[in-house]
Chain A
């Protein structure tokens, strides 16, 4: 079983739609959680951290459920520029040297 699992998609949504991605992780000792974004044939970049209480950054909302070992990312009012692959990332231990990446969920926003 992969340590971090994501629905690969693609999610095809119209502009303005709300879309949600889910991610599950297998190691209950995982400490920290993040979403990275990767554009086609580009390098990954940090999108946002995921806090236990849930957190928002503009149109993006991230939530964590430690009991179910589940992370989510909600994107409201989708833009064409949101088209990318979204990577769920966890750290298995204290410290940040070993990020464990999910394979990613692809989002395509169309006009």
Chain B
């Protein structure tokens, strides 16, 4: 099992450009999340999807959109990137496939995004 995978690992954008961060999990988890991590701020929830077909805003949703494409995939889109969106983005999943506790979130390796 690969767990949670994210692409790309690194990205540099110019202000105003758009891009989509991809995330996939192979653990049959129901819930998926997108976080950003900035120095001194901790991880902050951008959007989450409690189950296939649903998405909800987290703490910092402005400037982002998400799509829960199917149970495995949850993408994050930046329509018009701004320097304030320079951050490390983590995707995570959680669920009760029978083995894990529901509160244990499994994270992908992260995408390091710089907006100039």
Contact = CB atoms under 8 A, between A and B. Distances in A.
Contacts of B34: none
Contacts of B45: 98-99
Interface residues of A, number: 22
Given A43-B90, A46-B105, A96-B103, A4 B31 contact: no
Interface string A46-71: 10010000000000000000000000
A21 interface: no
A43 B108 contact: yes
B107 A43 contact: yes
Contacts of A42: 109-110
Given A96-B94, A99-B103, A43 B110 contact: yes
B102 interface: yes
Interface residue SS majority, chain A: loop
Interface in A77-111: 87, 91, 96-99, 101-104
A22 interface: no
A109 B58 CA distance: 35
B2 interface: no
Interface stretch (B13-21, B36-44, B64-72): B36-44
Interface in B3-55: 31, 33, 35, 40-45, 48, 50
A49 B107 contact: no
Given A43-B107, A96-B102, A87 B94 contact: no
A46 B100 CA distance: 11
Interface of A: 2, 4, 8, 32, 34, 41-46, 49, 87, 91, 96-99, 101-104
CB-based closest 8 A-B pairs: A43-B107, A96-B103, A103-B42, A101-B43, A101-B42, A46-B104, A96-B102, A102-B42
